[in-house]
Structure 1
């Protein structure tokens, strides 16, 4: 039985699809600011505005699509449409250098494209529930594909952009999305919909009416705000405040990303025994220790050791957090997964606004004091969410 599960072609199709979409996204995102600056000749303010509008549009569009995806039609068709929009977006960026076109049509296509990943995870959850299999391990392995994609994607992105140009980079991304379309069309299952709980009294129409969902969303936003502030500020903090080599920032990020993958897999394995709520509390506790360590210690060795706590923090909340949303919103995997991904986007927006202002006025160390406080608040909120 175990060997059959390992070679299940549907499982393999979900893994490959999530990995390839992850790689295509990881090809475009790291060099986007470089593209806007060099190719489009956009000033720093317009680059920042592009990222902000892109994030806000992604949240709005994903919420609208998610609401429809849980009640209407075959979810595969939504995923195919989003991948097609991603393909069109990559082609647009390959051949357009007009800022207004990119910040309007490009942002719209990008927002629609961003829905593909949460919808694949939602379809995976429906498939697992329909086939009566264990969700936590499968979802964690899928989420690990995204982490693996982000280990491979950024170096490849810079290699393609700097050696072959942005046209080649975006056309490679378009080719990957085309392959994804074929893969999804021919291999991913069409899962019959269960009777909607939205009309049966089992679940309110809006997840926001559920106190636990609201608390978890706010807690998740807080967690991702901490993480994004750290990612933005850490290279500056290491070089300008601690006086350590700039290359250490890359080593710390790479080490954390590498450690996250086994943490995700271990969390998926332990989820049924330990419980999702307990795992999330362990993760946020590790986050508290991580940010406390950043405040107290400044040596190279200490920063390297602290990455273990960072990996436990992010590795668990990235996989188990999504499952907790899905468990709290039964029958609505699309809306639940989108709430989780929107909490990440919202955290990124808040982090971008906070980091620049705080570090300029109070110094880089203030970022980590704030992150420590936010992590403690997140732990308190997560502890109040019911176990499912």
Structure 2
């Protein structure tokens, strides 16, 4: 019996030990899937992020390729219709008297030179069949420029032909005559006795100079700064005429169909006889503003200088804010006449009523005085009568 018990106890002990050894193995089997699950989630997240980044990179690369393909197409189209070569030419000038140019598409710069006078210009080429050149001649002080197009008229990417004329540092020239199809003109520090300029499209800037003559710009503005004008006609079809800090002489005519005329003259308004016409817009003369002067405005200051200002659509401003009052002015607008007549009628009515009121007051005063005098006389008569009665009664007694 004892041996059996011992065997049974030993078997129980062995079973317990086996169970103890099996439990850690079971726990290990349960933990591994959890670890794998957590690791799989992380890898999935990183994988998704990586896929998104890869997709973005691929998209950017493809978009860049498409853009480059499009750019190649556009540049090829531009190259087919543009000059691809340019050359700068230079001609020395000596004792220049006048300038005459007839250009297609080109900018023009005219200014003083610190060294010897010369001209510098650009020529454009595309092979041997297409070119934009200038015929330049300088004889007996006369500079002539004329554009010469071979083949078809092309343009140049990011570039425009330009003509630079550098004049002597002192003295003026007798004449500038020119026409441009498209381009800007800028002239600095120059005295020109006769000026004749025509532009189809572009802007004109004249700075610190003396000019007389004619300037016409079909599409673009005319800007003058710190200059002096005499016997000058400025005309634009579509564009503004701006004059700043300039001295205006006699016989000036500024006209535009659609645009503003803004004048800041050194001399005061009373130095000019102003004749202005405007269909739609404001007319400002000093500190006075009018609207739509369809029938015109005329001021005769008996001055030496005459100036005509005309625009169909736009504003005309002459020395805005100047406090000078213009005498002997005639305002020709129909509406203004009605207003003036109404104002005069009101003033007349006011004067009449004031006069009538004064007369009435005088009459009232006179009537009051008369009534007071009558009352005083009556009272005095009554007093006299009472005194007489009293005296008679005393005598009878």
Structure 1-normalised TM-score?
Answer: 0.17
Which protein has greater RCO, CA pairs closer than 8 Å, 6+ apart?
1
More strand by share: 2
More helix by share: 1
Structure 2-normalised TM-score?
Answer: 0.17
Q: If you compute each CA radius of gyration, which structure gives the higher value, 1 or 2?
A: 2
